Structure 1
Amino acid sequence: MDAFGHVNHANMVTLLEEARVPLLFGEAPGDGLAEFAKGIVVVRLSVDYRSPVVVDGRDVRVEITLSELRHASFTLSYTVHNGPSGSDPVAVTARTTLAPYDVGGSRPRRLTATEREFLRTRIPGGPPA
């Protein structure tokens, strides 16, 4: 937290990462998509603050939706609520564009059809097929 007791920017970005990790590195491999865990990089990140998230012991709720799906990248949108419920006030909205990455080849790679289907069906709000 910062000097005012608010969650600072670096910690907010970490919170967003912690929200997407179970999906991409937990659920995806469980569905037979091991390549995600081998490499995904953040291409773009934007964070908009509507109100501070105060460290007071309450949980926050992070909702993730798929807002764009391309052949070599996808964009996740986040809504961070200042409390555990979706009806609690929205404190932060954010977006990350992610690209699958071939670590061995040191280059981005295209999403497979199976990965695209996983993203489209497992993350709410996904674009149509």
Structure 2
Amino acid sequence: MRRGAVLGIVMITPALLASGCGLFENHTIRVEVTGAGTAEEIFYSFPGQATTGRTAEYTANSPGALRHVRLPWSASATTGFGFVDVTTTATGPVSCTIIVDGRTVLRRHSTDDHGVQCHYSVQGS
């Protein structure tokens, strides 16, 4: 039984890699925040980076934690699969957008003073 399972894994793994499942591909990711004036705060992270949002790990000096940012604002990275986050607070309507390999995959809008959050899972193609 065990030998059959190991043999199955040995045979399937090369097939998945050869099929271009995208697990080990890099992606060009861009996050954008748009609106009028400035954002009070912007927190963002790309796959492979520590979460920089409002968590126990957050400090004002964390990479990906910005204050009083003139809009529009954007950041880009080339990374593998994982989660992309951007959260912002502003004193008016604001939008966040996540673009992966030139394709807009998520856009959210806020019409109040509470801000907006975009969260997306980048997976293989």
TM-score (norm 2): 0.23
Structure showing greater Rg: 2
Q: RCO higher in 1 or 2 (8 Å CA, sep ≥ 6)?
A: 2
TM-score (norm 1): 0.22
**Structure number having the greater strand percentage:** 2
